Protein backbone atom coordinates (compact mmCIF):
# COMPACT_ATOMS: atom_id res chain seq x y z
CA UNK A 1 0.00 0.00 0.00
CA UNK A 2 1.43 3.37 -1.00
CA UNK A 3 2.02 6.09 1.55
CA UNK A 4 2.14 8.85 -1.06
CA UNK A 5 -0.31 11.55 0.00
CA UNK A 6 -0.31 10.37 3.63
CA UNK A 7 1.05 12.24 6.63
CA UNK A 8 4.17 11.04 8.39
CA UNK A 9 3.20 9.02 11.46
CA UNK A 10 4.36 10.06 14.94
CA UNK A 11 7.88 9.11 16.00
CA UNK A 12 10.62 10.13 18.41
CA UNK A 13 14.26 9.25 17.78
CA UNK A 14 17.77 10.25 18.74
CA UNK A 15 20.06 11.32 15.93
CA UNK A 16 23.73 11.98 15.51
CA UNK A 17 24.32 15.36 13.86
CA UNK A 18 27.49 17.42 13.68
CA UNK A 19 29.12 15.99 16.80
CA UNK A 20 26.01 15.91 18.98
CA UNK A 21 23.14 13.64 19.88
CA UNK A 22 19.80 15.38 19.27
CA UNK A 23 16.20 14.28 19.64
CA UNK A 24 13.98 14.45 16.56
CA UNK A 25 10.21 13.97 16.34
CA UNK A 26 7.65 14.01 13.55
CA UNK A 27 6.72 17.54 14.66
CA UNK A 28 10.29 18.71 13.97
CA UNK A 29 10.06 17.86 10.27
CA UNK A 30 7.04 20.04 9.59
CA UNK A 31 7.50 23.46 8.05
CA UNK A 32 10.05 22.45 5.42
CA UNK A 33 10.58 19.74 2.85
CA UNK A 34 12.22 16.63 4.27
CA UNK A 35 13.99 13.55 2.94
CA UNK A 36 13.89 10.29 4.90
CA UNK A 37 16.73 8.21 3.47
CA UNK A 38 16.54 4.63 4.78
CA UNK A 39 19.45 2.23 4.41
CA UNK A 40 20.08 -1.29 5.76
CA UNK A 41 22.97 -0.81 8.19
CA UNK A 42 26.05 1.10 9.29
CA UNK A 43 29.49 -0.30 8.42
CA UNK A 44 28.29 -1.84 5.16
CA UNK A 45 29.25 -1.42 1.50
CA UNK A 46 26.70 0.29 -0.76
CA UNK A 47 25.31 2.43 2.08
CA UNK A 48 28.37 4.68 2.56
CA UNK A 49 28.52 5.40 -1.17
CA UNK A 50 24.90 6.57 -1.13
CA UNK A 51 25.21 8.55 2.09
CA UNK A 52 28.35 10.30 0.84
CA UNK A 53 26.61 11.12 -2.46
CA UNK A 54 23.74 12.62 -0.48
CA UNK A 55 26.19 14.55 1.73
CA UNK A 56 27.65 16.14 -1.42
CA UNK A 57 24.28 17.68 -2.37
CA UNK A 58 23.16 18.48 1.20
CA UNK A 59 24.17 22.19 0.99
CA UNK A 60 22.07 22.54 -2.18
CA UNK A 61 19.11 20.84 -0.51
CA UNK A 62 19.41 23.16 2.49
CA UNK A 63 19.27 26.19 0.18
CA UNK A 64 16.05 24.71 -1.25
CA UNK A 65 14.51 24.43 2.25
CA UNK A 66 15.00 20.66 2.46
CA UNK A 67 16.25 18.78 5.53
CA UNK A 68 17.71 15.27 5.34
CA UNK A 69 17.21 12.44 7.82
CA UNK A 70 19.13 9.26 7.10
CA UNK A 71 17.62 6.30 8.97
CA UNK A 72 18.81 2.80 9.78
CA UNK A 73 17.91 0.39 12.55
CA UNK A 74 21.31 1.03 14.15
CA UNK A 75 21.64 3.23 17.25
CA UNK A 76 22.77 6.84 17.27
CA UNK A 77 25.93 5.56 19.03
CA UNK A 78 26.70 3.35 16.04
CA UNK A 79 26.13 6.33 13.72
CA UNK A 80 28.69 8.35 15.70
CA UNK A 81 31.24 5.53 15.61
CA UNK A 82 30.77 5.16 11.84
CA UNK A 83 30.99 8.92 11.34
CA UNK A 84 34.23 9.02 13.35
CA UNK A 85 35.90 6.15 11.45
CA UNK A 86 34.75 6.37 7.82
CA UNK A 87 36.04 9.11 5.49
CA UNK A 88 32.83 8.88 3.42
CA UNK A 89 30.48 9.04 6.41
CA UNK A 90 32.64 11.71 8.03
CA UNK A 91 31.38 14.13 5.34
CA UNK A 92 27.80 13.90 6.62
CA UNK A 93 26.28 17.00 8.25
CA UNK A 94 22.63 15.92 8.07
CA UNK A 95 20.70 13.99 10.73
CA UNK A 96 21.53 10.29 11.17
CA UNK A 97 18.50 8.85 13.00
CA UNK A 98 18.76 5.72 15.11
CA UNK A 99 15.73 3.46 14.72
CA UNK A 100 16.65 0.46 16.84
CA UNK A 101 13.03 0.13 18.03
CA UNK A 102 11.86 0.03 14.36
CA UNK A 103 9.12 2.64 14.87
CA UNK A 104 10.19 4.87 11.96
CA UNK A 105 10.91 1.95 9.64
CA UNK A 106 7.50 0.45 10.39
CA UNK A 107 5.81 3.86 9.99
CA UNK A 108 7.21 4.08 6.45
CA UNK A 109 6.56 0.35 5.83
CA UNK A 110 10.21 -0.16 4.89
CA UNK A 111 11.29 -2.71 7.54
CA UNK A 112 12.35 -6.06 6.11
CA UNK A 113 10.11 -8.56 7.83
CA UNK A 114 11.98 -11.03 10.00
CA UNK A 115 15.35 -9.38 9.34
CA UNK A 116 15.28 -6.24 11.48
CA UNK A 117 16.83 -4.04 8.80
CA UNK A 118 15.31 -1.28 6.69
CA UNK A 119 15.17 -1.67 2.95
CA UNK A 120 16.86 0.93 0.78
CA UNK A 121 14.11 3.57 0.51
CA UNK A 122 13.75 7.31 0.00
CA UNK A 123 10.69 9.29 1.08
CA UNK A 124 10.22 13.01 0.46
CA UNK A 125 7.64 14.89 2.51
CA UNK A 126 6.31 18.38 1.90
CA UNK A 127 6.23 21.11 4.60
CA UNK A 128 2.92 19.73 5.88
CA UNK A 129 4.59 16.38 6.57
CA UNK A 130 2.78 14.65 3.70
CA UNK A 131 4.77 12.11 1.67
CA UNK A 132 5.07 13.22 -1.97
CA UNK A 133 7.83 10.98 -3.39
CA UNK A 134 8.85 7.37 -2.75
CA UNK A 135 11.73 5.32 -4.17
CA UNK A 136 12.60 1.81 -3.03
CA UNK A 137 15.46 -0.23 -4.44
CA UNK A 138 16.87 -3.66 -3.59
CA UNK A 139 19.83 -3.92 -1.25
CA UNK A 140 22.40 -4.26 -4.05
CA UNK A 141 21.29 -1.18 -6.02
CA UNK A 142 22.49 2.22 -4.84
CA UNK A 143 20.55 5.42 -5.36
CA UNK A 144 21.62 8.58 -7.19
CA UNK A 145 21.50 11.87 -5.24
CA UNK A 146 21.43 13.92 -8.47
CA UNK A 147 18.21 12.17 -9.51
CA UNK A 148 16.75 12.73 -6.04
CA UNK A 149 17.60 16.42 -6.34
CA UNK A 150 15.85 16.58 -9.73
CA UNK A 151 12.74 14.90 -8.31
CA UNK A 152 12.61 17.27 -5.32
CA UNK A 153 12.88 20.28 -7.63
CA UNK A 154 10.00 18.87 -9.69
CA UNK A 155 7.89 18.18 -6.59
CA UNK A 156 8.52 21.69 -5.25
CA UNK A 157 7.66 23.21 -8.64
CA UNK A 158 4.49 21.14 -8.92
CA UNK A 159 3.44 22.10 -5.37
CA UNK A 160 3.87 25.81 -6.06
CA UNK A 161 2.32 25.83 -9.56
CA UNK A 162 -1.20 24.37 -9.41
CA UNK A 163 -2.43 23.23 -12.79
CA UNK A 164 1.04 22.39 -14.11
CA UNK A 165 2.84 19.05 -14.14
CA UNK A 166 6.46 18.11 -14.81
CA UNK A 167 6.99 15.62 -17.67
CA UNK A 168 9.61 12.86 -17.77
CA UNK A 169 13.21 14.05 -17.44
CA UNK A 170 11.99 17.55 -16.50
CA UNK A 171 14.79 19.82 -15.31
CA UNK A 172 14.41 23.14 -13.55
CA UNK A 173 13.61 25.90 -16.05
CA UNK A 174 12.23 23.57 -18.71
CA UNK A 175 8.68 23.60 -20.06
CA UNK A 176 5.96 21.99 -18.00
CA UNK A 177 2.55 20.76 -19.09
CA UNK A 178 -0.89 22.12 -18.24
CA UNK A 179 -3.23 19.12 -18.51
CA UNK A 180 -6.34 20.04 -20.47
CA UNK A 181 -8.95 18.63 -22.80
CA UNK A 182 -6.96 20.00 -25.76
CA UNK A 183 -3.90 17.86 -24.86
CA UNK A 184 -5.76 14.55 -24.66
CA UNK A 185 -4.25 12.18 -27.22
CA UNK A 186 -1.72 14.73 -28.50
CA UNK A 187 1.26 13.88 -26.32
Known catalytic residues are 47
Q: Using the 8-state DSSP alphabet, how is residue 45 labeled?
A: S
d(CA 179, CA 57): 32
**Separation between Cα atoms, residue 131 and residue 126, nearest integer Å:** 6
Cβ atoms of 66 and 32 closer than 8 Å: yes
Cα–Cα distance for residue pair 158/152, rounded to 1 Å: 10
Angstrom CA distances, 37 to 33, 152, 160, 182, stand at 13, 13, 24, 39
Amino acid sequence: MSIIGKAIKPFTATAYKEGKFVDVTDADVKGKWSVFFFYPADFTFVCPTELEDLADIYPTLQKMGVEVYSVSTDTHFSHKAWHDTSPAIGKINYYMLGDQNHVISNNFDILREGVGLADRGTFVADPDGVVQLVEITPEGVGRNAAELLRKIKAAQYWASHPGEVCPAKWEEGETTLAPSFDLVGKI
